[in-house]
Structure 1
Amino acid sequence: MREARGMVGRTHELDRVVSALGLADGGGGVVVLSGDAGIGKTRLLRDVVGHAEAAGCLVAVGHCVAEAGADLPYLPFAELVSALHEAAPELIGEVADTHSALAQLLAGTPARAEVRASTGPGLLAEAVHAALSRVADRCGVLVVIEDAHWADHSSRDLLTLLMTRGFTAPVGLVVSYRSDDLHRRHPLHPTLGVWARLPDVTRVHLDPLSSADMWTLVRTLTDAGDERVAAVVERAAGNAFFAEELVAGGNVLGADLQRVLRARFEQLDPAAQRVVRAAAVMGRRLGHDLLQAVVDLSPDELDAALTAAIDHHTLEPVAGEAYAFRHALVAEAIRDDLLPGQRRRLHTAFAAALAARPELGTASDLARHAAASGDADTAVTAGIAAGESALALGGPREASGLFEQVLGWMAEDDPRRDDTTAQAALAAAASGDVGRGVHLIADRLAHSDERSPARARLLAGYVTLARVYDEPPDLLQRAEEAVRLTDGLSDRTRLQALVAQVQALADADRYREAVAASEAALALADELDATDLATDLRTILVALDSDEADLPEVEARLLDIVRTRPMDHPTHVRAYYRLGLLEAERGDLPAALARLDAATAIAGRLHRPWGVFESLSRLLGGRMAYLMGDFDDALRRLSPPGPPFPQPGYAAFLAERLAVLTARDWTVDPGVFESVLPYWPDDTFLALQAMTAQLELLGRSGRLDAIPPLLERGLTQLERHWGSRAQIQFRIAAVLAGVLVEVDPADPDLRRDLQAILDRLTARTSPIIAAGGFGIESRAWARRLEAELLHLTWLAGAPLDAGALVGAWETAVATFDEWGTPYHAARCRVRLAAVLAASSEHAAAREQADRVRAEAAAL
């Protein structure tokens, strides 16, 4: 494990402490700093000391010590006075001559550890105050008293006297203590009440670090992958020390950390420990009535035990007459310390209580306790109910985890396994992990009964999910198998099979067959009153018409789908996503963005922002913002939740960000390209975005030798999935030609290889361009490709009418302007300005250059 470098996430608190201590202006002040053990008090004080030393202050630190330290009066003051004497012996000597009590705190004085009773606290306080003031008159002083929760009675009183009197010299005093060590009978508790009433005392409490700050901290400690980092961040719950210990222990509670976590538990009486053990087995929020049903204590005994656990900051009351652990790792440490028999008996008691009184908990609670106690049948039944409830309430990730747990509890021949697998897969997809859903179904298909209608539901789910990225070749075959398995049925499973068949036929470009197959599906949907599947089916059918010239009619039909269901529904997301695609194909980027934003807003209200079409809407919205020239907004939209976000979805967002960062900064960490490379086979558009961004950057950096293998890999994938006549090759060819315009390879073999790739691309694109009939995006890239090829011819010295080259670039500029993409239009204007200048049309060249500069500033 690496050592953390620098403080993370405490800038605001540090500024407050530095300001309150007057370190910036030399004014002095008093701060009482609190926070749980390990939260970062000592690290913050280290930075405060650094600020003080930078300001020229003398720093003196006094530590309070556990156990024996409480029996040694004034121990922290003896330490700090000795430090002052070592740093400024003549000044401290002068004070000791006039304040004899001070001599008894100095190192080397025989009675230092036992200040005589005849020296009252007032005289000693006067002596310490005089010493601090005398030194502060020369250079300013910062006094740090750490761990005041262990301070002896005399030291607490002396601190109170110093705080009450204050200082006219520039003395800063900061006192820290562990807030989680305090309870109502703790000796520091009443003293804190006194300090809180002092007008010149600033209290600063350190809350747990935010999730983002914890990610930063853990990243400084380890090179582990996102999933391991996320696990540490979640378990540490904002506590820096816990995070460091978990990283050092491989995310396992080490012996040192376990001792820290169990320390307060071990101070409890036996009844309170019994209650806390039960709460630890519950593992999260625990209702009072459920606890009463599980532990063998009278109501009064339970109340007393809970009061002790709360006073010692092990448990804390939460809303709804319930309790929770102050930190989840405390529960884990206590649970891990239980004997197997203790743990099983508690799980059995919880399961029995929840089965008898379901209102005391949730179905997921019952499932977990039943599974841990060995009652698999109850666990499976309750787990399925819990998963269905979580999905209905907008918690697809939780539902996915619950269904997968159930599959682990379930016997291999359980008749519910196929349906539960389908539910787990759809929940995984709704949470953004489409790949997980596909793998779950594919694995089950390899082991399910090939004649069971339940298999048809699996097949339909497979077709629905596997098509999201690059469709496997067997989708239509799978859909037709589902239809055969449900032949003669008239239920929802039959309808799901028919809808999957229509989708697979549409994806295979067999539109007439898809429309024909949809008739039976629509009739069955009406018979079953299955409006959700009917709406999905109508959305598929509308998409078949997306290439029609009458796009307004297609739009009207999609909007009609939305209006038929007045409440938010997942199908609305899909419909608005299709509307966004149609607007993009029409070239109306602002309208496309508005439709995609509508889809994203509905997804948010449904609490499932990362489902299939939900994620695609957000992704395409980021692309629209990029094309429209709002790079900052694009990056904001293309920021999925912190890792671990499921792959390849996360990589798809990164690839889109690569395009934006390349356009905005012309510099991207090469490691980001490497991170998305493994997911190229899963998503061809991801591969396209990453490949073209890297192509531009390689050209800009002069690393032309890396371009041929990059293009060979990318083009092979594009051809495998989209064919050799895909219009997207206009863009790749235009970008490659642009690279060759800007950088002429010195190596003739490399120039020949690059030219061969470009020739291969242009041989494919030329007949497509000549045929025409494509949308504004393809037309814009075709015009740029034509201009770049003419530019290459011009640079090679071949005879060329300058007016033709100017005209080609003017057409490219105009087409990108028509599309509404200022960045790409500006790229073409740069070429146009260069050609105009070379043609001695200097005024026109300056005009174009001025427009480029203005556009660059706006971007």
Structure 2
Amino acid sequence: MSIHAVSPRFVGRARELAILGDALAGARAGASSAVLVGGEAGVGKTRLIKEFTDRADDALVLVGGCLELGTEGLPFAPFTAVLRGLVRELGRDGVAALVPGGTTRGLARLLPEFGEPDGDGPEARARLFEQVLGLLERLAEERPVLLIVEDAHWADRSTRDLLSFLVRYQPTAAGLLIVVTYRTDELHRTHPLRPLLAELGRVERVRRVELRRLTRKEAVAQAAGILEREPSPADMDLIYARSEGNPLFVEALLSDGGGVALPESLRDLLLASVERLPAETQELLRVASAGGQRIEHDLLSAVAGLDENALSSALRPAVAGNVLTVDGEGYCFRHALIREALHDDLLPGEHTRLHTRFAEALERDLSILPAPRGAIELAHHWHSAHDSTWALVSAWQAAGVARRSTAYDEQLGMLSRVLELWDQVPDASERIGCDRIDVLRNTATVAHLAGEYERAIALASAALAEIDRDADPIRAAKLLRQRGLTRYDLGRPGFLDDLREAAALVASDKPTTLRAQVLETLSRMLHGREALSERLTTGRLAMEIAHELGDHRVEAHALIDLAWARFGFSEIEAQMEAFAQARRIAGGDEAFNVLMRCAISESDALEGAGRHERAAQVARDGIEEARQYGLARTSGAFLAINLAEPLVSLGRWDEALEVIERALDLAPPAPTQASLQGFVVDIALARGELDRAERLLGTSRSVLSRGTFRDQTVLPLLCREVRMRQARGELEAAVEVAVQAMEERDLLETPRYCWPVLVTIADLLGSVVPQQGRAATGTDTPLAKLGAALLTRLRALGRELEVDGDLQRAHHLTFTALTGPEPDDGAAGPFEVWDRAAEAWAALRQPYAEARCLVGAAQAALADGDRQEAAARLGRARELATRLGATPLLEQLDAFGRRARIGGAEEAADGLPLGLTARELEVLREVADGRSNREIAEALFISAKTVSVHVSNILAKLGVATRGEAAATAYRLRLFDAPG
């Protein structure tokens, strides 16, 4: 009776197979999705995928696996395998024809057949990502595409980043299905795949599936398929107890006639299947185990020292026994645990000798493996062979290869290894042609590119501690510039000190590129009124040096710096012409970073000038330009901020939310995410979605608390904090935020972002400081006194703050309407001021701000006795608020209409809002001031019991459950504002 190594019956996975089948059916219908398949080692992920792909019919199946090489991994390994398979099937030219834009230089980072890779840097990496996605999209136009990435628990950072990009950014209307498998038992608490799985699991079109162990009934069915008979209950009890339902363990136990005599450990079980093979096959498998999970035929032949016949003869039993499987031009262990068990079973001497032989074979002919895999595997083997000298040299070389592949994390790992081995190799500098300081500087630069900002600062600081700045000013300046850039990105102080010192070190009568770069970087990072003169001087000098040297990129960057420094928002056309000149100077398509910075600057300046439509269009064009350059995740995501902001201003809130969602799907850096989510908070607050707003506000707060950021990032967050507390009725907390802001921030520094802060605080104080016509009750509360003092300081700030451009003028008018004219000011009355503010916002096409000012105008008109004008303003405000879905504003308008008996609102019988009696409104005011029932009773000369009855009635009429909610509702609806 024959015994199958693997059960011919596929058992226990009907649900998982159905999920995959449904996803593929969706792809056939043009709906892209992804399925993440997890499970412990041996649970049957590979078998599930094989069964699924066998039933894929017309789909194009692309399979790539992640490789284990110690702890380094191999950058983009699964995608290299997929691309190699496509080239075998379609030919190089056939694949090239499918790449959008007609250029394949990005794909050259994966396969040398596509030529020489283009320039290094984050733009090149992003371009590679876009080209891979574009290739998959083109393939999916012809038939459904099934992309399978196996063993993602071994994925390197670069592979994880590309995989995340493809899953998040795959078009919903494309026939692409991505399936990812990974070992759950490998995912320890700090495993880097864990957060990625959690993030992808929240994407709507992603489904997570975890394979469980087999039940006893399913294990019996599996065993019957292997044995071609039903196992005895006693044998099955033992097998199931030992295997615990793991299909691989069941197979291993059954392969020796029931498994009773096998050792209990997994290693022994796995090695038992190897030990049944011929001795020469076992020896060859031990050799192969040092080569990794997948090994090329030619490399194995070179290391084993066998000719073709001997090698094939020795391998055949391993393939027949399902220990090895054929994979293209090489071999894979059927299960990684088999390779691990073999490798761990090597004696120390064997371990060193085998890795040395692999390293020597690769040294003789690195072309055995495709780049960059060869260099990285070479470094892995020399390190595993404990040869410090060649481990250092090969790690340095592998770092260079990883750099060309934009695999920054792998490059960082290799450079870190060079530093670790440095003291063990006496002639390290001569070996690699670079001293330790330069290695530290290169590692700091790569750490910055890889997002390891803290490490980059530490490395640059370590190099600066070793360098004599007087004797070696050029390298010191480079290190200071690098540390300054990283400190700036991290929001850490000291970046200006670094850049100023770097500028002093490169000061010379002879112009150099480094001097131009340092000066331009310094000019770019100088902000504030007191730094204006220095910024202009530094920027002009950088531009002159760059122009003299013919460095168009630095010259264009400097011109952008000067445009920001020279022109205000009232001079927007001159500023736009300067940006256009920077574009012309930068030149062609190779100046990606300059062109993207121009798009960012242009859209930002237009928005600051109140040219919202133009700002949105420039940002939208920039996003498309970024996509074409392969920069959708970097510059494109940042430009989404500059598109969302004008869309929010224009009241196109749903469109803004779509833009933000698409940008967040790209997984941009945390500060970019925080800025994008800030606009979602603005919309949520305006629509009364307070829980959502508070959740997102907490996320932004957490991100921005990790560094020191500029006003454009911090001040909008401050406004949101105040508005959030105000919407919750937490007036004391809101005032505390306002006080802290006025004490800790210079609210005269950046008028564009300071005016919204002043307006927000002024609006808050309207709910805190008693107004004329209000009853005297509550005017002596600590909060009211604090608010009055704050209002005085706020008015003083408003008198000093510059007004530059139409947008700031609208804010200034609103601020004046909120705070009231100065006592000796003979300006127009409240109605005219409010009306002018509303007209200013209408001219800017900002409907929400216009509607809020129209409320103030309506109240002022009613106070003047002009009910007709009040009704007109109220009607227009309601029209705008309805269109925006601004529920809290609509509630306020309705309450005001009922209270004033205008605008068609129904009025309660006693003429007060929401059916409240005059006494209940008095009690509610006291409740909102935070007084207890006893304190209210004393203030209003009634009993505490009567107060309790009034409070119960108030809660019922307002439809709330607590006193705090009642206060919040009263302030939101402005129930205490005098109607006339």
Shorter-chain TM band: 0.5 to 0.7
Deviation at 1:567, TM superposition (A): 1.5
Return the letter of the residue paired with 1:267: S
Question: Does structure 2 retain, via aligned residues, the 8 Å contact 1:40–1:241?
Answer: no
Mapping of residues 482-631 of structure 1, within 5 Å = 482-484=503-505, 487=508, 492-503=513-524, 510=531, 516-517=537-538, 521-522=542-543, 525=546, 530-547=551-568, 550-563=571-584, 564-568=586-590, 569-609=592-632, 616-631=638-653
Per-residue Cα deviation, 1:459-507 (whole angstroms, up to 9, x for no partner): 1223334334657355155433454257577654444344445445677
Q: Which residue is 1:805 aligned to?
A: 830
Q: Which residue is 2:691 aligned to?
A: 667
Distance in 2 separating the partners of 1:358 and 1:474: 43
Q: Residues 324 and 713 from structure 1, CA distance in 2 versus in 1: closer, same or farther, beyond 3 angstroms?
A: farther
Q: 2:303 aligned with 1:294, yes or no?
A: yes
Mapping of residues 13-32 of structure 1, within 5 Å = 13=19
Return the letter of the residue paired with 1:624: P
Per-residue Cα deviation, 1:697-730 (whole angstroms, up to 9, x for no partner): 21111122322343344445533xx766755332
Deviation at 1:275, TM superposition (A): 6.7
Distance in 2 separating the partners of 1:585 and 1:673: 23
Aligned equivalent of 1:753, options 782, 786, 797: 786
Question: Does structure 2 retain, via aligned residues, the 8 Å contact 1:505–1:511?
Answer: yes
Q: Residues 785 and 761 from structure 1, CA distance in 2 versus in 1: closer, same or farther, beyond 3 angstroms?
A: same
Q: 2:739 aligned with 1:739, yes or no?
A: no
Q: Which residue is 1:783 aligned to?
A: 813
* TM-score, normalisation: structure 2: 0.55
Deviation at 1:282, TM superposition (A): 5.2
Q: Which has the higher contact order (CA 8 A, sep 6+)?
A: 2
Distance in 2 separating the partners of 1:541 and 1:329: 61
Aligned equivalent of 1:365, options 377, 381, 399: 377
Per-residue Cα deviation, 1:26-61 (whole angstroms, up to 9, x for no partner): xxxxxxx99996579999xxxxxxxxxxxxxxxxxx
Question: Does structure 2 retain, via aligned residues, the 8 Å contact 1:380–1:410?
Answer: yes
Question: Does structure 2 retain, via aligned residues, the 8 Å contact 1:419–1:458?
Answer: no
SS of equivalent residue, structure 2 residue 734: helix
Q: Residues 14 and 419 from structure 1, CA distance in 2 versus in 1: closer, same or farther, beyond 3 angstroms?
A: closer
Question: Does structure 2 retain, via aligned residues, the 8 Å contact 1:486–1:497?
Answer: no
Deviation at 1:429, TM superposition (A): 4.4
Per-residue Cα deviation, 1:724-757 (whole angstroms, up to 9, x for no partner): 6755332123223323445789792223334433
Distance in 2 separating the partners of 1:384 and 1:831: 68
Per-residue Cα deviation, 1:279-333 (whole angstroms, up to 9, x for no partner): 76555765443343334554356557777777888776667x3566788788778
Distance in 1 separating the partners of 2:654 and 2:459: 38
Q: Which residue is 2:488 aligned to?
A: 467
Q: Residues 491 and 817 from structure 1, CA distance in 2 versus in 1: closer, same or farther, beyond 3 angstroms?
A: same
Return the letter of the residue paired with 2:303: V
Distance in 2 separating the partners of 1:42 and 1:328: 14
Distance in 2 separating the partners of 1:816 and 1:405: 59
Per-residue Cα deviation, 1:541-580 (whole angstroms, up to 9, x for no partner): 3433343855434323433433442214222212222222
Aligned equivalent of 1:697, options 689, 711, 724: 724
Mapping of residues 696-715 of structure 1, within 5 Å = 696-715=723-742
Distance in 1 separating the partners of 2:608 and 2:507: 38
Q: 2:476 aligned with 1:455, yes or no?
A: yes
Q: Residues 425 and 266 from structure 1, CA distance in 2 versus in 1: closer, same or farther, beyond 3 angstroms?
A: farther
Question: Does structure 1 retain, via aligned residues, the 8 Å contact 2:620–2:643?
Answer: yes
5+ long unaligned stretches in structure 1: 1-6, 20-32, 44-179, 181-206, 245-253
Q: Which residue is 2:460 aligned to?
A: 441
Q: Which residue is 1:718 aligned to?
A: 745
Distance in 2 separating the partners of 1:787 and 1:641: 38
Q: Which residue is 2:681 aligned to?
A: 658
Deviation at 1:255, TM superposition (A): 12
Q: Residues 828 and 231 from structure 1, CA distance in 2 versus in 1: closer, same or farther, beyond 3 angstroms?
A: same
Range that drifts further, 275-284 or 588-597: 275-284
Distance in 2 separating the partners of 1:751 and 1:345: 82
Question: Does structure 2 retain, via aligned residues, the 8 Å contact 1:426–1:437?
Answer: yes
Distance in 2 separating the partners of 1:583 and 1:546: 12
Aligned equivalent of 1:683, options 705, 709, 715: 709
Q: Residues 629 and 243 from structure 1, CA distance in 2 versus in 1: closer, same or farther, beyond 3 angstroms?
A: farther
Question: Does structure 2 retain, via aligned residues, the 8 Å contact 1:784–1:828?
Answer: yes
Per-residue Cα deviation, 1:323-359 (whole angstroms, up to 9, x for no partner): 6678878877876676655554444333323322232
Q: Which residue is 1:91 aligned to?
A: none
Aligned length: 649
Q: Residues 820 and 227 from structure 1, CA distance in 2 versus in 1: closer, same or farther, beyond 3 angstroms?
A: farther
Mapping of residues 325-404 of structure 1, within 5 Å = 343-359=351-367, 360=369, 361-362=371-372, 363-376=375-388, 378-396=390-408, 399-400=411-412, 402-404=414-416
Question: Does structure 2 retain, via aligned residues, the 8 Å contact 1:687–1:714?
Answer: no
Distance in 2 separating the partners of 1:508 and 1:799: 31
SS of equivalent residue, structure 1 residue 554: helix
Question: Does structure 2 retain, via aligned residues, the 8 Å contact 1:787–1:805?
Answer: yes
Distance in 1 separating the partners of 2:335 and 2:657: 35
Mapping of residues 261-300 of structure 1, within 5 Å = 267-268=273-274, 269=277, 286-300=295-309
Distance in 1 separating the partners of 2:336 and 2:652: 43
Mapping of residues 114-513 of structure 1, within 5 Å = 229-230=194-195, 241=210, 267-268=273-274, 269=277, 286-300=295-309, 302=311, 321-322=329-330, 343-359=351-367, 360=369, 361-362=371-372, 363-376=375-388, 378-396=390-408, 399-400=411-412, 402-411=414-423, 415-430=434-449, 437-451=456-470, 452=472, 453-468=474-489, 470=491, 472-473=493-494, 475-476=496-497, 478-484=499-505, 487=508, 492-503=513-524, 510=531
Q: Residues 469 and 40 from structure 1, CA distance in 2 versus in 1: closer, same or farther, beyond 3 angstroms?
A: closer
Q: Residues 547 and 725 from structure 1, CA distance in 2 versus in 1: closer, same or farther, beyond 3 angstroms?
A: closer
Deviation at 1:522, TM superposition (A): 5.0
Distance in 1 separating the partners of 2:323 and 2:668: 33
Return the letter of the residue paired with 2:709: D
Distance in 2 separating the partners of 1:289 and 1:368: 18
In angstroms, what is the RMSD of aligned CA positions? 5.4
Distance in 2 separating the partners of 1:594 and 1:314: 60
5+ long unaligned stretches in structure 2: 1-12, 26-36, 49-149, 151-176, 214-242, 250-265, 771-777, 888-980
Q: Residues 341 and 601 from structure 1, CA distance in 2 versus in 1: closer, same or farther, beyond 3 angstroms?
A: farther
Distance in 1 separating the partners of 2:642 and 2:208: 37
SS of equivalent residue, structure 1 residue 587: coil
Distance in 1 separating the partners of 2:207 and 2:273: 25
Deviation at 1:844, TM superposition (A): 0.8
SS of equivalent residue, structure 1 residue 467: helix
Distance in 1 separating the partners of 2:523 and 2:344: 53
SS of equivalent residue, structure 2 residue 867: coil
Question: Does structure 1 retain, via aligned residues, the 8 Å contact 2:858–2:871?
Answer: no
Question: Does structure 1 retain, via aligned residues, the 8 Å contact 2:493–2:708?
Answer: no
Distance in 1 separating the partners of 2:557 and 2:440: 22
Distance in 2 separating the partners of 1:277 and 1:527: 63
SS of equivalent residue, structure 2 residue 651: coil
* TM-score, normalisation: structure 1: 0.61
Per-residue Cα deviation, 1:237-262 (whole angstroms, up to 9, x for no partner): 99855899xxxxxxxxx999998697
